[in-house]
Amino acid sequence: MKIPAIRLALLAAIEPGTHFWTREIFSHGVEEVHSRIIGRAYDPIKYANIIDKVSKFDADTDFAKISNAGAHLLTPEDLDWPIRVDDLESPPIALIVKGRRDLFTNPSLAIVGTRNPTPYGIRIAGDFAAGFVDREWDIVSGGAYGIDSAAHRGALVAEGRTIAVIASGIDTPYPSGNSRLFDEICENGAIISEVAPGVPALPHRFLTRNRIIAALSQSTLVVEAAFRSGSLRTARDAAQLLRPVMAIPGPINSPSSEGCHRLIGERAAELVTSVADACELISAL
């Protein structure tokens, strides 16, 4: 079996962001890890599900699903692999990309936030996305409703490029209500998935995919986030990568801005109020 097929087999069997398998692949390489799984060198009870999936994996079937979705597999062996994700403690085994695969060396800003924004948040997300696009930056977000969608649309309205990192399989992008937006993103940007085709968007997968959003971007901007929000996880992931984190302040009595105020108060993010502020901050760091 060739390395792309081996990586796809492991991608289909192993949950993203698993530290144990990251260490195994780093220490032994994907071919050796694949061979060990097939040979039951790992605990056959603890890893029974993974052993079963890898042993029964049909590469032709999954490659066909990827192709039918208009996508392709991208691996660390490829020249256009986004090397920024290698800075992660648990980098992806592979990525499935629909759209352009030549974007990953461009300057890019992650814009994230609540799924239940106020009109203020929607406007700010769109304005910042357009402002950075005008400066020839790409916009990265998660394709979700709310701030994510506003950021993607802001980039598209400004005739720029945007990348959506989704938590489901590339053939069933979530949320389905954003299918038209996903089509528009792919015209000049890309959709990225770290899971195999057909995999649903379960809650824990949103948290693990957030690290990909942070890693693909040179800086992260949080626009409206509740006190406990997945967007704060993206901000923490970016901070761990020593990438600048910024937050937009909101009304002090707005629940939608509590997360941003928390980040600013803990000095985990810099307060910014304009695109010019954000650009100056990023260039200074």
DSSP states of 241-283: TT--EEE----TT-GGGHHHHHHHHTTSSEE--SHHHHHHHHH
Band (pLDDT 50/70/90 cuts) for residue 229 is: confident
pLDDT band at 230 (very low <50, low <70, confident <90, very high): confident
Q: Which residues are 270's β-sheet partners?
A: 246
Architecture of domain 108-284: 3-Layer(aba) Sandwich (3.40)
Residue 178 pLDDT > 90:
yes
Q: How confident is the model at residue 250 (pLDDT cuts 50, 70, 90)?
A: very high
Host H or E run for residue 163: strand 162-166
Q: Model's pTM, two decimal places?
A: 0.94
What pLDDT score was predicted for residue 285?
65
pLDDT recorded at residue 283: 85
Q: Which residue has the tokens 């399989």?
A: 169
Tens of pLDDT, residue by residue over 131-152, are 999 999 999 999 999 999 999 9
Question: To the nearest whole percent, how much of the chain has pLDDT over 90?
Answer: 94
Q: Work out the percent of the chain whose per-residue pLDDT is above 70.
A: 100
Give pLDDT tens digits for 77-95.
Answer: 999 999 999 999 999 999 9
- pLDDT, residue 228, reads 83
What average pLDDT does the segment 11-24 reach? Answer: 95
C-alpha of 132 from chain center:
19
- Average pLDDT, stretch 175-179? 95
Whether the pLDDT of residue 284 is over 80: the answer is: no
For 15-38, b/e burial (b = at least 16 CB within 10 A) is: ebbeeebbebbeeeebeebbeebe
Q: With contact defined as beta carbons under 8 Å apart, do 91 and 220 qualify?
A: no
Work out the mean pLDDT of the chain and round it to a whole number.
95
Spell out the residues 6+ positions from residue 169 whose beta carbon is closer than 8 angstroms to its own: 65, 96, 193, 195, 196, 197, 198, 199, 200
pLDDT at 42 over 70: yes
What confidence category does residue 76 fall into, taking pLDDT thresholds of 50, 70 and 90? very high
Boundaries of every domain in the chain: 1-57, 108-284
- Do 152 and 181 contact (CB within 8 A), yes or no? yes
Determine the Cα–Cα distance for residues 157 and 170; give it in Å rounded to an integer: 24
